[in-house]
Amino acid sequence: MKKLLYMICIAVLSVANCKEKEKSDDTTNFGLLAIAASLSSGITEIPFQIVAGSDTAPKCNKLIQGHSGSVMDTKHISESMNFYIKDARFYVHDVKLVKADGSTVDFTLTSDNKWQTSKVALLDFEDKTGDCTGTTETNTSIKGTAPAGSYVGVQFKVGVPFDLNHLNSTTADAPLNNSGMFWAWASGYIFMKFDWAAKEGAGTSNSFHLGSVGCNGSGTSVLTTSCTYPNRPTITIKTSGSVTWNPTANPVYFDIKALVSGTNSNLSSSGKAYTCMAGNNGGMSGTTAADCKILLNNVGVNETDGTSASVQSTFYLKP
Amino acid sequence: MKLYKALLLLGILSFANACVPDFLDLKKSKNDNNLLLLALALSQGSGWVWNLPPGFPTPTVPSENPMSQAKVDLGRFLFYDKKLSANESMSCSSCHFQNLAFSDGKATPSGITSEAHPRNAQHLSNAAYHPRLTWSNSLLKTLEQQARVPMFSLAPPELGLANEDYLGKLKSDSNYRKLFSAAFGNGDSAVTEQNVRFALASFQRTMISGYSPFDKANNGNRSAMSASATRGASVFNGEVAECFHCHGGFNFTDTTLHTKQTSEEFAYHNNGTHNNAFYDALPLNKQGLKEVTLVNSDQGKFRAPSLRNVGVTFPYMHDGSIMCDDSTNPGHPTGVASGATLETCARNALGKVIDQYTAGGAGTPKHTSIDTTLIRPFSLQPSEKADLINFLLALTDSEFLTDSKFSNPFP
C-alpha cells in the first residue's frame, strides 16, 4: 500500500514537473511536502513483544526455563524455576514518544472498538491454550498517530486511567468490557495480569495482578474518589546512546522472566506459591508483602505508596 | 423526558396543594394526589408490584436495571444453574440454600477449586435493602456489582468463570434463548455478562423475608410470639445488651437503604470476635474492611449482618467461628446429626454469641479497634439470655424458607 502511494506520488511529481515548471510554486511544494510527511516517518504503530530472557517466543503451553546452566540470561530467576504462562495481559495509556532531549510527543491512540479506545489499550499475549484460560485472540501492538520526528524511545503508563477505572463498568466499551480483566472485589480493572504455573513437586499456581488498591467511595457516590495505592507505573524506555528509534524494527520487549526475577515458585526447591493481588500491604494465601514487593518493583511500582518508581526491569526496547 | 414529566407533575401537585380552596374536601384532594403519585410511580417504573410484607419499605433499584417478572424468572434459573461455573460443578445455590435462608451451614464454603473462601456465606434474606454488599467490602454497592465477585473472583475462585465460555453455553440452550429474549429483547445479543448479572440481581431483590413470628406479633397478632420471646425483644432493644445499635431497624442491621431514606446508612464494626494478634497472623483477605481500605484501624471490622432468619444461618460471625457444640452440623447438606435439630444447634450457638458479647468480646487483650462504646462487658440473667434467644428464633420466617418462588426451577 505504501509503495503504491509512493508511486502515485512520484507520478504526480513527474506530471507536475513536466507541465508548468515555472509555475511549480510554493503551493505545490507544500502539498507535496504534506504527502511526503504522511507517507514517511509518522509513527502509527508500536509493537510489543513478549520475551522470557533470551527466549524471544514464549507462549502459553510452552515451558519457560529457568537457568539451564548453558544459558546465561541477564535476568536472574531461580536456577530451577521453570514455569508455564497462565495469563499475560496488561493495559497501557498516556503513550508518548521520547526525543533525545527528553521532551515527549503524544502518541494518540485510535479507537478500534476492540483492543483500544482513544484513551487506553489492552495488550494480550495469551491465546487460551495450555494453562491459559482467557481469550483465543491476542493483541501485540498499539495503534495511533504521532508526527514524524527523531525519537529515541517511548513512554507509557501501565493500567487504566483513574477516570475510567472506577466507573460502574457495566456499560464500558471494549477493551474495558473484558470480564477477565475486571477486578470485581476492588471495583476497578486489573492493570496487569501475569499468572504462571510451576509444575515441579506438587506444583504452584501463581498470580501477579496489578491494580489500584486502598480505594474509598465516598458518601452516596457510586464512584471511587481516591486510592491510597494507585499502582500505575510510568515506563520510560529509550535506545542506548540516543540512537533514533524505529518502533517496528525495535519493538517494546515485555520480559516475563524479568517480571518474576527474584521469585521462586518451585515447591521442590524451597519455593512457594505467589498470590500478589496488588500486594502493597501483604499478599494473600501466605504470600507476604516482601514477596509481592519484588514483583511490584520489577514492574516499576514503589510498593510503599503505589507511585511510579524510578527504575523498572520488565520493559526494554529490542536492542 | 421522564424527568421533565416528573417535574411537570410535581409542579402541578405543588400548585394544587398551594391553591386548594378551603371549601374543598381536603380528604378527597389528598386521595387525588395519591392517585397522581401512583400514576407517576407507574409511569417511571415497569409496573413492578413488590407485594411487600406489612410495614416494609420499598427497596431501591438501580435505574439501569428496573425490576420485571421476566428478569426475575431468568435470574431464578441462572441462580440455580451450574453452567455458571467454569467446570459446571457449582451454581450460586451451591453456597446459598433456601432452607437456610440462602446461607449454607458451613463455617466457610469452597468454590470450584476446593480452596476455602476467607469468609462465611451470608444469607440473602432482604439483600435488596443492603447499600453495601458482602461482609466487608465498602466498594460493592449494588447486587449487580456484587455478582461479579462469585462469578469471576480469583482469590479464591468461587464459580471460576475466567472467560466468556459460559455465555456460549447459555446461548445454545433454547430455554435461555426464550428467557433472555423475554427479559432483555430478542436474539443472542441479549445473552451478555451484564444481563446475567442484572437478572441475578433482580431475582435476589425479590428474596424478601417479613413474615416471621416477630413480624406477625409486630403487626398486631400478639400471640404469634411467645411471652419469653416478647421479653427477649426488650432485652434486644434495651440499654444493657444494646443489640439494636448495630442490628436495629426493620431489617435488624444498621446498613440499610430503601426508597423512604434520603441517604444510605452503612457501618462497619469491630465486635471483638478476635484480637489484634489473631488478625495480624492472618492473610490480608481475612482481616475485614482493612483488606479493601488498607487502613489499619479497619482491621477486624465487618458489616453487621441482618439478623433476619438468624435461627438457621449458623455458624455465626464472618468466619463462621461460632458454632453449636454438635460439630456434625445439623444444617449441613451432607447429613443431619443424630438427635440434633436446627433449633437445638441455633439455641446453643446463639448462646455462645451472647456470651461473647456479655464478655465484651473474645480474647485478651481486646482488639484495639473494638467499638468500645457498644462492645463492653455487661451481665444478663440466665432467664434474660433465654428470652433473648427465643426472640432471635422468632425472626425465622418459615414461609421464606419454603416459598416456591425462590426454589430450584429445574426439574
Summarize pLDDT for B101-126 with one digit per residue, the tens: 999 989 999 999 999 999 999 999 99
- Compute the average pLDDT of residues A35-50: 75
Predicted TM-score of the model (pTM): 0.82
Task: Tell me the C-alpha to C-alpha distance, in Å, between residue A2 and each of A6, A33, A39.
Answer: 6, 16, 7
Say whether B152 and A184 touch across the interface (CB within 8 A).
Answer: yes
Q: Given the DSSP bridges, would you call strands A252-255 and A315-317 parallel, antiparallel or unpaired?
A: antiparallel
Residue in A133, A182, A275 nearest the CB of B155: A275
B26 pLDDT band, cuts 50/70/90, is very low
- Between A220 and B62, name the one with better pLDDT: B62
Percent of chain B with pLDDT over 70: 85
Given this model, what pLDDT does residue A71 score?
43
Q: Tell whether the model's pLDDT for residue B25 goes beyond 70.
A: no
Q: Which residues of B touch A219 (CB under 8 A)?
A: 263
Q: For A271-302, write each residue's pLDDT tens digit.
A: 889 989 877 776 666 678 888 999 999 999 99
DSSP states of B328-357 as a string? S-TT-TT---TT--HHHHHHHHHHHHHHHH
Residue A16 pLDDT: 40
Q: Which member of B140, B264, B293 has the closest CB to residue A187?
A: B140
Phi, psi of A156 (to 5 degrees): -150, 160
Residue spans of beta strands (DSSP E) within chain A: 43-51, 84-99, 104-106, 108-109, 120-124, 141-146, 151-158, 182-183, 188-189, 192-198, 204-210, 213-217, 224-229, 234-238, 252-255, 275-277, 315-317
Distance CA A256, CA A58 (A): 9
Q: Which residues of A touch B268 (CB under 8 A)?
A: none
Residue A150 and residue A40: Cα distance in Å, rounded?
12
Q: What are phi and psi of B195, to 5 degrees?
A: -70, -30
DSSP-based three-state secondary structure for B84: helix
CA A178 to chain centre: 17
- CA nearest to B139, candidates A292, A176, A226: A226
Would the pLDDT of B92 be above 80? Answer: yes
Determine what percent of chain A is predicted with pLDDT higher than 70: 77
pLDDT-based confidence at A20, cuts 50/70/90? very low
Q: Which of A134, A217, A287 sits opposite B163 (nearest CB)?
A: A134
Does the bond joining B283 to the residue before it have cis omega, within 30 degrees of 0? no
Helix H or strand E segment including B269: strand B268-269
Tell me which chain A residues have a C-beta less than 8 angstroms from the C-beta of B164. 179
Per-residue confidence (pLDDT) for residue A170, from 0 to 100 = 59
Q: Is the Cβ pair B155, A135 closer than 8 Å?
A: no
Distances (CA, A) of B65 to A118, A296, B187, B353: 28, 38, 19, 38
Q: Phi and psi (nearest 5°) for A153?
A: 175, -170
Across chain B, which distance is largest between two alpha carbons, in Å?
A: 74
Summarize the confidence of residues A74-96 as an average pLDDT: 83
pLDDT band at A184 (very low <50, low <70, confident <90, very high): confident
Q: How many Å lie between the alpha carbon of A179 and the closest alpha carbon of chain B? A: 7
Eight-class DSSP state of A317:
E
Distance to chain A for B210, nearest Cα, Å: 27
Greatest mean pLDDT range, A107-111, A269-273, B263-267, B283-287: A107-111
Rounded Cα gap, residues A94 and A161, in angstroms = 8
* pLDDT over 60 (residue B313): yes
As a whole number of angstroms, the distance between CA B377 and CA B224 comes to 32
Query: Mean pLDDT over residues B48-65, rounded?
Result: 94
Task: Report how far residue B199's alpha carbon sits from residue B196's, in angstroms, rounded to the nearest whole number.
Answer: 5
Please give the pLDDT value at position A222. 53
Section A82-99 average pLDDT:
96
How confident is residue A217, by pLDDT bands cut at 50, 70 and 90?
Answer: low
Contacts of A283 in chain B (CB under 8 A): 283-284
In this prediction, residues B250-256 reach a mean pLDDT of: 93
What pLDDT is recorded for position A28? 45
Does the pLDDT value for residue B225 go beyond 60?
yes
- Residue A268: count other Cβ atoms within 10 Å of its Cβ: 12
Q: Is A214 in Cβ contact with B293 (below 8 Å)?
A: yes
As a whole number of angstroms, the distance between CA A87 and CA A207 comes to 9
Residue of chain A with shortest Cα separation from B289 = A214
> Is the per-residue pLDDT at A80 higher than 70?
no
**ipTM of this complex:** 0.75
C-beta atoms of B138 and A217 within 8 A: yes
B265 touches chain A (CB under 8 A): no
pLDDT of the residue at A284: 62
pLDDT (0 to 100) of residue B74 = 98
Q: How many CB atoms lie within 10 A of CB B375?
A: 22
Task: Give the residue with greater pLDDT, B311 vs B335.
Answer: B311
Q: Is A213 on the interface with B (CB under 8 A)?
A: yes
Provide mean pLDDT across the span B368-383.
92
For residue A31, what pLDDT is reported? Answer: 44
- What is the per-residue pLDDT for A242? 77
When pLDDT is cut at 50, 70 and 90, the band that residue A40 belongs to is low
